[in-house]
Amino acid sequence: MPTRNFVPRADGEGSIGTAAKNWLSGYFKQLNVADVTVDDSKKPTSNTTDLTTLLSNLANEIKQSKGTDDWKTAPATNLATLASLVGKLTSDSNVTWEDNKFTNSKFGITGLMEQNGYICFGKNFGGLILQWGYGGAFWFAVGV
């Protein structure tokens, strides 16, 4: 004999468990719930809260990471676009190499790829310059 369903007689009637007497666990193959409204202005404050608040917290994090006014708005760029740009910067025919120094005339980028080097992104990228290198200090004993 099949298990009977818990079906209320009218909308808004009936429940399973209470805040004081709740079920320990459950398994649902399908769960239908009413619409949930996400508020992307809610910043995360806890790891434990109701599901709607957790979804709102995730929407806020998505919005912040994209730098948009709304979590549903598409980002200005995506990882595929950035990967394509990096690929063109390093392998395009516009890149010329002279020993360890390169120039990309298309993007106005130059650089020196050595232990002490730099990449100058030019005016198209706000004049950003990344520098790296190794420095050291040596002390010599001098007798007077």
* Assigned domain for 140 exists: no
The pLDDT score that the predictor gives to residue 100 is: 92
* Amino acid at residue number 122: G
Q: 126 and 100 share a domain?
A: yes
Task: Give the start-end residues of each E strand in the chain.
Answer: 95-98, 101-104, 109-112, 117-120, 129-132
Q: 58 and 97 share a domain?
A: no
**Residue 51 token pair:** 């599901």
* Assigned domain for 17 exists: no
* Assigned domain for 45 exists: yes
Q: 73 and 108 share a domain?
A: no
Q: 38 and 75 share a domain?
A: yes
Helix (H, G, I), strand (E, B) or coil at 117: strand
Write out pLDDT tens, residues 52-96: 999 999 999 999 988 889 999 888 777 788 778 767 766 656 788
The CA dihedral of 100, 101, 105, 107, to the nearest 10 degrees, is 90
Identify which has the larger pLDDT, 51 or 25: 51
Domain count within the chain: 2
Instruction: Determine the average pLDDT of the residues in 18-36.
Output: 82
Identify which has the larger pLDDT, 42 or 13: 42
Residue with tokens 């806890």: 46
Contacts for 51 with CB less than 8 Å, ≥ 6 apart: 36
* Assigned domain for 1 exists: no
pLDDT band at 133 (very low <50, low <70, confident <90, very high): confident
Domain span holding position 76: 28-80
* Assigned domain for 12 exists: no
* Assigned domain for 69 exists: yes
CA distances from 30 to 14, 55, 108, 131 (A): 19, 19, 56, 55
* Assigned domain for 127 exists: yes
Q: 35 and 72 share a domain?
A: yes
